[in-house]
Amino acid sequence: MSSEINKLSNLVSNHLKIVDKRITGNEQFHWNRLKRTPQILKQKIKFAGGSYTVDQTFNELDEELLVIDASIKKLIKYTKVFGESMNQVLSNSVCSAESFQNLIDPYTNLKSDSQILEDAYATWSKITKYKHKVKDVFVENEIDHLVSSVEKKLSEITKIYKAVFKKIELRKTALLDYDKVYNDHESLLLKQEQSELTLKQNNQLYSLERKLDDTKIRYTRINSLLVRELPLLIRLTQEVMGYVQAHIYYVHLTFCYQVAERIKETEFIENDVNKIVTDFMLMNDPIVQEIETSILTSHQAESNNDYNKTKESYCYALHDFAGQESQTCDFPKGTKSRFLLGMELGGKAIKRKIGQFPSNYVQLI
pLDDT value of position 216: 86
Whether residues 244 and 328 fall in one domain: no
Burial grade of 243 (CB within 10 A; 0-12, 13-18, 19 or more): exposed
| Lowest mean pLDDT across 24-28, 254-258, 334-338 | 24-28
CATH number of domain containing 329: 2.30.30.40
Residue ranges making up the domain that contains 330: 308-364
Give the per-residue SS3 of 101-132. Answer: HHHCCHHHCCCCCHHHHHHHHHHHHHHHHHHH
Residue 41: inside a domain? no
Q: SS3 of 365, please?
A: coil
Residue 11: inside a domain? no
Whether residues 236 and 99 fall in one domain: yes
Neighbouring-strand partners of residue 348: 339, 355
Residue 12: inside a domain? no
Q: How do residues 107-126 score in pLDDT, each as one tens digit?
A: 665 555 666 677 777 778 88
The DSSP code for 364 is: E
Residue 301: inside a domain? no
Burial grade of 193 (CB within 10 A; 0-12, 13-18, 19 or more): exposed
Whether residues 125 and 170 fall in one domain: yes
CATH number of domain containing 130: 1.20.1270.60
Confidence band of 260 (pLDDT split at 50, 70, 90):
confident
pLDDT value of position 328: 66
Confidence band of 39 (pLDDT split at 50, 70, 90):
very low
Structural domain total, the chain: 2
Residue 288: inside a domain? no
Whether residues 259 and 358 fall in one domain: no
353 vs 339: CA distance, rounded Å: 11
Residue 83: inside a domain? yes
Whether residues 238 and 340 fall in one domain: no
| Lowest mean pLDDT across 11-20, 199-208, 216-225, 284-293 | 11-20
3-state helix, strand, coil split of the chain in percent (to 5) is 75, 5, 20
| Lowest mean pLDDT across 10-19, 48-57, 140-149, 152-161 | 10-19
**37 pLDDT above the threshold of 50:** no
**44 pLDDT above the threshold of 80:** no
Residue 258: inside a domain? yes
Whether residues 59 and 193 fall in one domain: yes
Whether residues 201 and 269 fall in one domain: yes
Whether residues 191 and 92 fall in one domain: yes
> What is the pLDDT of the chain when averaged over all its residues?
73
Whether residues 330 and 240 fall in one domain: no
pLDDT value of position 65: 92
Whether residues 78 and 197 fall in one domain: yes
Higher pLDDT, 167 or 312: 167
Whether residues 313 and 234 fall in one domain: no
What does the pLDDT average to over 320-346? 60
pTM: 0.52
pLDDT value of position 253: 85
What does the pLDDT average to over 148-161? 88
Residue 184: inside a domain? yes
What does the pLDDT average to over 271-298? 70
What does the pLDDT average to over 2-7? 59
220 vs 204: CA distance, rounded Å: 24
Whether residues 214 and 333 fall in one domain: no
Q: How do residues 156-190 score in pLDDT, each as one tens digit?
A: 899 999 999 999 989 888 888 888 888 877 777 77
